[in-house]
Every structure is written in structure tokens, then in C-alpha cells.
Amino acid sequence: MKELADVALDAARRRGASYADVRLSRNTTEVVSTRERRVENVASADSNGFGVRVLVDGAWGFAASNKVDKAEIERVAARAVEIARANRAIQRRRIALVPTERYPNARWSTPVERDPFTVPLSEKVDHLLKINEAALGVRGPGPIFVSSRMMFVKEEKYFASTEGSYIEQTLIRSWPSFTVTSVNSRTGNFEQRASFGSPVGKGYEVVAEYNLIEEAPKAVEQAIKKHEAKPVEPGRRDLVLHPTNLWLTIHESIGHPTELDRILGYEANYAGTSFVTLAMLGKFRFASPVVNVRADKTQRFALATCGWDDDGVKTTEWDLIREGILVDLQTVRDNAAVIGHRRSHGSSYAENWGAIAFQRMPNVNLLPASGNQRIGIEELIADVEDGVYIEGDGSYSIDQQRYNFQFGGQVFWEIKKGKLGSMLRDVAYQGRTPDFWNSCDAVGSRDFYMLGGAFYDGKGEPGQSNAVSHGCPPARFRRVNIINTGRRV
């Protein structure tokens, strides 16, 4: 691999590149899907190739190929230099890179107990069908349907740069899940509930850890109960959010607006820019003092975790929001230089060998409350006179600057006088990002911290996907605008 990488680097240097890097990678994916008592789909894919990125006279150039031999690598490196020279004609600002250390022989792998790609297909199918059978064993007011699936991804990549780094990494991500549907034969309505477990940076061991066979009947029971749930009364109510719901709100309203490329206007095509400005750093009260948010590319089992990013920067963790104040942003080597930072936070990623690396979200986490006090759902609900409790993520919308939003969920309960009451339906909460986070008056303790996350988070043009986790405890928000989504039968 080093010999092939050096061909690209030498070719780029000879043609005038001041900097060059090359990524040789292999991406392997597998999806196994079932429905009721049958297998619906088994799909696998394997993609192998390389991409060369160069900096020539302050402009980027990139080219890639799936034919991996020395002659093709030489040709593609030359093509990347040609593209950089063409880009220079329209480059508004000369690109510079903040420094990074040299890593001449570095390796990192996702810590897995069992590589999912070595597990027999029969074992995976058997487990999924057992999940389905457990769900089908629950009786409802009509038919029960269930689909279950396992998704696995492995990235094997080798990065090298003209700065002397040679980095080999293997990243593995896994996601077993299901969705159950209850149909009411009398009304013709249907209700659903999906499994609460998120994708994680683990191996096949997560299948046993999630125990979806046990969760499936409970999910069916909740889906059945949703048929009789009463519509929510709209108005300003207190809100308690389980981590299975809150992670998505963190992702959309904190994760995306703190990406520096959105703030600078470099990224606007895919879901817009950001309401955050550089002038806010160190001064803007993004949230209440109980809110502390940390970006982390080193977090064990999280989806965006790796040893080095795709700029060759050693990954780390850093505060984004400290006691409610916005203190830092997500950066990569080129945009860190734009705002005068001396180091990159290591947030560069490319989804495969044929995609150019650019800024992607690290794991962004709401930290649990400090101290030894035990604060869970019960403790948060106990101080709510009139409110709503939500589990599971659902549909959502958010504007192009990540400022105005609306989030739903999967399962909703009324809170009255500090106690959990009746199940609700048609619930969504609305807010403006800083107003919402400033309404947070309590977060749970470490005992109740969980990882949520997205297997596919889109960004860029051409679009790319990144996997990212968001850890958090449950949290309470005061006087949030609760709306009735208006579904009527």
C-alpha cells in the first residue's frame, strides 16, 4: 500500500502540487431484511479504489479511479493537478492548511468482539425471524406486521500524504433493527413503533446487546395502545425527552449549525448554512448554564469515531458549548486557517475512495449532570406539573439556518402533577434553537446516558453520507410549544 501511495504523491509533487494526499480504500456493506416469516432481501456490495487530492497554487484538485495499479495512479494524480489548476481560475480565496503532526506508521481499528462479515448468513436470518416471531405472538385489534433487518459496514482505508503520514484504519458499523405495525380492523388505521436501538461502532455483538427479541413484543403492545391514545392538547407545556428522542434534536439544532463550513457559507446546497456567526464565539448564550455539549471523535463505540480523520489529523474531543456559552466549532485543516485557528479539530471525512474529503460532523454529545445525584426520567418528571414525555425519534423539519424547528417522536405520554399519565398521540414540539436550549433546566446523570445516532447523514454536492453518534442523558425543557399534528380519522 505504501508503494502505491508513494506513486501518487511523487506524481503530484513532480507536477507542482504543494500538498497531496491519497486514500486507497475498500468499502464493504451487507443488508439482510426480513418480513414476518420470510426473507425479503440479502444485499452485499464491495467497492475498491483510490482518490488523490492535491493543492496547487492555493486551489484543490481531486480525481479518483477504481483501477488500482501504478500506471492508473500516476494518471489520476496528474489529472488531479490539472483540475486544481483549472479551479484556480475561479478560486476566490487561496487555500492554506493549518499544520498537523506526521504519523509515519499509524494504525487504528474499531474495537469489535466479532466481525459481522464473518458471521454466517443463516445465523443472521435465524435471529431476525425470531424477532419477527416474538412480535407476531402479540394479539391486537387487527393484523400485526413486522419487518426486521441488519445492516453492516466496513471501511478499510490507507491514507498517505506528502507531509510524511501513512495511516491504516478499519472502521466497522452495525445496526440491527425492526419496525412493527398494528392495524385496527374496525377503523382501518395503523400504528407503528420502531426499535429504539441506534447504529453503533461495534461488531456483531451488538445484536445480543440490543435483545430485539425481547423488545419486539413490547413495541407491538405500544403500537396497539397508540390506537386508543388521546390527541394532545396544544399549548406551552414542560417537556421531558428520552435520549432516543433527544439525540436527533442535538444532531439538527447543535451538530449542524456548529459546522464551520456552513457558517462560512462554503456549504449551503445540502440543507443550508447556519444561524451561528463567528462573532458569537465566547459570548453567545446558546443554552442554559446546565447545558454542556462536547464534540468527540474518540468516543468508544460511536459512529464517527476513528484514529485519524481524512486530512491525516489525530482525532480528539473538545467543547462546543460550555455552561450554555458557545465556545468552539467543528473544523478541518483548510477552514481552520480561514478563521485564524492554529489547529484542526479533525472533522474531515469522505464516504469512499471516489469522494473528496471535506468537513463532516464528529460525535456531538450533551454531557450528563455533574455530581453524584441520580437523575433519571422519574426525577425529571417529578418536578413537572403539566407536560409531555417522549420516547423515540420521529419526523422533523428545520429551516435552512437550523434556527426554527419541529420534532415529533414515536411514543408520547402525558405528565400530570409529577406522574406519568395517559398515552398521547399527534404530538410535536416546536421552537427556535437558542430559545429551546435555554429552556433546558435539568439534564440526567451519567447512569442514564445513551448513544443515539444516524447511519446516513447527508451533506455536500455531490451528496455524501456520514455516520455520526450523539450521546445524551434524558433532559427537561420548560414551557415548550407543543402542537397537535392534526391527523384525524
- Average pLDDT for 281-306: 98
- Which of these, 335, 159, 134, lies nearest to 215 by C-alpha position? 134
Average pLDDT over residues 288-303: 98
CA separation for the pair 281, 260 (Å, rounded): 12
Long-range contacts of 275-279 (CB under 8 A, 24+ apart): 275/401, 275/402, 275/403, 275/433, 276/326, 276/329, 278/339
d(CA 158, CA 358): 17
Please state, rounded to an integer, the average pLDDT across all residues of the chain.
Answer: 97
pLDDT number for residue 419:
97
pTM over 0.85: yes
Question: What percent of the chain shows pLDDT beyond 90?
Answer: 96
The pLDDT, as a whole number, for residue 290 is 98
Tens of pLDDT, residue by residue over 324-360, are 999 999 999 999 999 999 999 999 999 999 999 999 9
Tens of pLDDT, residue by residue over 128-171, are 999 999 999 999 899 999 999 999 999 999 999 999 999 999 99
pLDDT digits (tens, 9 = 90+) for 180-201: 999 999 988 999 999 999 999 9
Q: Which three cell numbers stand for residue 290?
A: 446546565
Give the pLDDT score at 488.
56
Give how far the C-alpha of residue 242 lies from the chain's centroid of Cα atoms, to the nearest Å. Answer: 17
pLDDT at 92: 86
Of 14, 437, 29, 1, the C-alpha closest to 255 is 437
How far is the C-alpha of 378 from the C-alpha of 365, rounded, in Å?
22
The whole-number pLDDT of residue 487 equals 60
**According to the model, what pLDDT value does residue 489 have?**
46
State the average pLDDT over residues 107-118. Answer: 98
